[in-house]
């Protein structure tokens, strides 16, 4: 898989907030179909790195390449890139005044110009895919956290993204709802959806990741094939972090 040309690549990405350097030259190449799990302590820069990858945050230096081409720094280039990338956040970020289907239909109608009818068909198909077809008419406040997050995943998929980025997608969920969301994500990965996932769910990482990337203090400290990582090939700092999260 790593022989393939990267689908998306960050090269030497630096990001400062005032005098604080949040990312100190982070590079990561993700091959088509690959799932990378990004781990690391709170404040290590994982969210900032994801936000730089889809140019929600402009890097101070370094570049983002999509399908081998450097993405320009202009607004239009960033908007074009983001159409190719689905992002899922910890707190779902659904539109509260729209039902599940309408949340999913919004971008296909507004951005792709689909008719309401066609967008609705797509929404129902995606809701079936995330296993809540029967919740099409429910509003976010009528859904559990796990169901809301699955609507958020379906909404991201509606734009047919080339890459999915997930930022701690199960961290806000009650324990009994974590599995249903991870199962949907693992299925997507198994179907070949290129994914970068920030998560502490090591069971998911073992099941779905091709590679594990460990970040600390704004740096990528370690990158391992998943099989090696779970086979025990882990550096001292990553080991220490794992011991903390696994108790």
Ligand X SMILES: Nc1ncnc2c1ncn2[C@@H]1O[C@H](COP(=O)(O)OP(=O)(O)O)[C@@H](O)[C@H]1O
Q: What's the half-sphere exposure (Cβ side, CA atoms, 13 Å) at 70?
A: 9
Nearer to ligand X, 56 or 106 (CB): 56
In the chain, beta strands by DSSP E: 8-17, 20-30, 35-39, 61-66, 69-70, 85-88, 163-167, 194-198, 211-216, 219-225
Least Cβ distance, residue 178 to ligand X (angstroms)? 19
Q: Identify whether the C-beta of residue 55 lies closer than 8 Å to the C-beta of residue 232.
A: no
If the CB atoms of residues 30 and 154 are measured against ligand X, the closer one turns out to be 30
Structure-token pair, residue 167: 């930022």
With H, G, I as helix, E, B as strand and everything else as coil, classify residue 151: helix
**Residue 200 engages ligand X in binding (rule: CB under 6 A):** no
Yes or no: say if 161 and 80 are a contact pair by the CB < 8 Å rule: no
**117 in Cβ contact with 111 (< 8 Å):** no
Q: Binding-site residue total for ligand X (CB under 6 A)?
A: 10
Q: How many residues bind Mg ion (CB under 5 A)?
A: 2
Interface characters, 12-51, with ligand X (x: CB under 6 A): -----x----x-----------------x-xxxxxxx---
| From the list Mg ion, ligand X, none, partner contacted by residue 54 (C-beta under 5 to 8 A by kind) | none
Q: Of ligand X, Mg ion, none, which one sits near residue 170, judging by CB under 5 to 8 A according to partner kind?
A: none
Q: Measured from the CB atom, is 179 or 237 closer to ligand X? A: 237
Could you say whether residue 47 binds Mg ion (CB under 5 A)? yes
176: enclosing H helix or E strand: helix 175-190
Cβ proximity to Mg ion: between 12 and 43 the closer is 43
Binding partner of residue 44 among Mg ion, ligand X, none, CB cut-off 5 to 8 Å per kind: ligand X
- Least spacing, CB of residue 16 vs ligand X, in Å: 9
């Amino acid at each position: 898989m790593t022989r393939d040309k990267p689908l998306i690549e960050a090269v030497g990405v630096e990001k400062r907030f005032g005098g604080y350097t949040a990312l100190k030259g982070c590079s990561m190449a993700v091959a088509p179909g690959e799932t990378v799990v990004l781990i690391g302590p709170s404040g290590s820069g994982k969210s900032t790195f994801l936000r730089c990858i889809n140019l929600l945050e402009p890097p101070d230096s370094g570049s983002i390449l999509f399908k081998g081409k450097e993405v320009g720094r202009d607004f239009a280039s960033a908007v074009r890139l983001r159409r190719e990338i689905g992002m899922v956040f910890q707190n779902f970020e659904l539109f509260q005044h729209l039902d599940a289907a309408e949340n999913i239909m919004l971008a296909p109608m507004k951005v792709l110009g689909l008719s309401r009818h066609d967008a609705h068909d797509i929404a129902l198909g995606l809701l079936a895919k995330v296993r809540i077809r029967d919740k099409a008419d429910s509003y976010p406040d009528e859904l559990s956290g796990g169901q809301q997050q699955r609507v958020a995943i379906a909404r991201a998929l509606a734009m047919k993204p080339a890459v999915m980025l997930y930022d701690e997608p199960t961290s806000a969920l009650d324990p009994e709802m974590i599995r249903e969301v991870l199962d949907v994500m693992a299925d997507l990965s198994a179907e070949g959806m290129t994914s970068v996932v920030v998560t502490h769910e090591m069971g998911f990482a073992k099941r779905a990741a091709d590679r594990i990337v460990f970040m600390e203090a704004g740096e990528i400290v370690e990158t391992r094939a998943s099989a090696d990582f779970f086979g025990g090939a882990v550096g001292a700092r990553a080991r220490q972090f794992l011991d903390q999260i696994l108790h």
